[in-house]
Amino acid sequence: MTDLEVQIQLLIDNAPQDGMTPKIVATIAPALRAIAQKLRYPQYYILQNIQESWILTTLSNKANPELEKRVVYAFPRLQDVSLFSSVGLNPQVAAKAIPVIHVLFQLVALEPVDSIVFFETPGTTNNAIEVGKTELQNLIQQNLQQHRASQQVPPNIA
């Protein structure tokens, strides 16, 4: 079992055992896996406050300052967090290692996050991959539609 498969299984196992949620998580797993396979690391460090909420950064477009988006930064190593922020100076903020599948799964539910920026090269913030919530939601929707189509009973089954 690959590391991603282990992470997916953990997500399924830790889902509310209500008869539906584990099945839904298993159904959307291919979308999470497809994006995670484009990233280099099995886990990333996410900045969190003392309530364990992820720290958001609001970015504005230089040409059009009214255009803003809210992102979460994901770092490949703990020491890379210091390249970006003064976390060591703020006792209210800490970086926590989170499996990549879990980061992507959280993106779907996080409000008001627009995307997660995964820094892919240790020691620099130059090489990054941005995963947008809309992109991930569209991929998940495709998986759900394919799953529904495969579950339908043919009309002439009698």
Rounded mean pLDDT for each run of 10 residues along the chain, 158 residues in total: 93 93 93 96 94 91 88 94 71 91 94 95 92 95 86 59
Report if residue 157 sits inside a domain: no
> How many structural domains compose the chain?
1
Report if residue 89 sits inside a domain: yes
The confidence score (pLDDT) of residue 97 equals 97
Report if residue 39 sits inside a domain: yes
Task: Give CA–CA dist 26/10, Å, rounded.
Answer: 11
Q: What is the CA radius of gyration of the chain?
A: 18
Kindly report the pTM of this predicted structure. 0.88
CATH number at residue 68: 3.40.1350.90
Report if residue 158 sits inside a domain: no
The confidence score (pLDDT) of residue 83 equals 76
Contact assessment for residue 129 and residue 74, using Cβ atoms and an 8 Å cutoff: no
The confidence score (pLDDT) of residue 156 equals 57
